[in-house]
Amino acid sequence: MNKREFLKYSGYLVGGTLISKPFSTGIKISSDGKKKKKPHGELILRYKPYTLQLKHAFTLATSSRTTTPVMLTEIEYGGVTGYGEASMPPYLGESHDTVTRFLSSIDLSRFSDPFLIEDILEYMGGIMSGNYAAKASVDIALHDLAGKLAGEPCFRLFGLNPAKTPLTSFTIGLDVPEIIKQKVAEAEPYKILKVKLGRDSDREMVEIVRALTDKPLFADVNQGWEDRHYALEMSKYLKEMGFVFLEQPMPKEKYEDIAWLKERSPLPIIGDEAIQDVKDLLKYKDVYSGVNIKLMKCGGLNGAIKMIHVAKALGMKVMIGCMTETSCAVTAAAQLSPLADWCDLDGNLLISNDPFEGLKIIDGRVILPDRPGTGVIKKS
């Protein structure tokens, strides 16, 4: 259904006339010309476990895997369906079981207005703490649904300019030289590469990548370095090798060492594993120069927007990242990318069984789909 047809069937004003409709959003025009919102119907939540197959083993400083469990969610209201997703990388501690437990414990049928996202998220927060990915799967589906009901892409509802999406990076995991070569070739549409470091062979890894490309590079150590003097030495080396920033160089518990490093490092230090939500931002504002914000860490778009504004107010750089996810969650995160300094939105490209289509990367930039909601569509 295109936008015009959608508006027709959802009871919006088209050409100054309220079209009669089989489905109503509950927005009525009263005799004094003011819109009166009378939501009706109920929210129906559905969910299905799914396992992402990774194109290459995803190897970080501390782990390696070939699959990622996700939960695909749908919220239906008056015949319109919003899509969401929870991605559960092992380090966050969520799984198919925990997300199923959380989603089966909430009752969205008690809500009759899908636009009351703050209220719904507050209700979920009161049911159980934590469970950020599970909550993100509901948050994303609600934003997709609200956008579809309003007939507008989420980025427009947030007031953001889709022409302002920053360049985004493609991740090169730790691997043998042959596979690294293959990954650099796969990253051709990207103008920036993100290199995973944190093992003994870091310099070798950097030299292999640098020999293959002149593109700017991001470094992500995933907490892999233990010694702050080594981290400082590496930071100087990476600066010389054309790196832009250094992400989570040391274990998050070593925040005093990371603050020491930040004072001396020629590269900005970005917090990822250490900074999950707004509380962490306030706690670590003097430890990191910026933050990698991910929907699965902070519970969805609602939490991410709050983090973006707090980070900016604290003078921190903002990066929008993702886990290994389908195009559903990645395209949802991308809606906020016009607010970011950098993006790392490649999770969907690291998997071979993406059931959705959404954002595109053209000339290294995120191109947001010009469709209502998050703009994702299910592949047939």
Interacting residues with Mg ion (CB under 5 A): 220, 247, 272
Q: Shortest approach of Mg ion to residue 250 CB, angstroms? A: 13
Q: Shortest approach of Mg ion to residue 34 CB, angstroms? A: 48
**Position closest to Mg ion via CB:** 272
Counting Cα atoms < 13 Å in the Cβ hemisphere of 16 gives 0
Residue nearer to Mg ion on the CB measure, 85 or 220: 220
Residue nearer to Mg ion on the CB measure, 73 or 248: 248
For tokens 């790196």, the residue is: 243
Q: Shortest approach of Mg ion to residue 319 CB, angstroms? A: 9
Assigned token pair, 289: 């120069």
> In angstroms, rounded to a whole number, what is the distance separating the alpha carbons of residues 374 and 141?
9
For tokens 């590496």, the residue is: 234
Residue nearer to Mg ion on the CB measure, 219 or 334: 219
Residue nearer to Mg ion on the CB measure, 70 or 274: 274
Residue nearer to Mg ion on the CB measure, 271 or 300: 271
Report residue 259 CA to chain centroid gap.
Answer: 26
User: Cα 197–177–323 angle (5° rounding)?
Assistant: 45
Confirm if 72 and 103 have CB atoms less than 8 A apart: no
SS3 193: strand
Nearest CA among 124, 119, 3, 52 for reference residue 329: 52
Q: Shortest approach of Mg ion to residue 89 CB, angstroms? A: 10
Q: Shortest approach of Mg ion to residue 292 CB, angstroms? A: 5
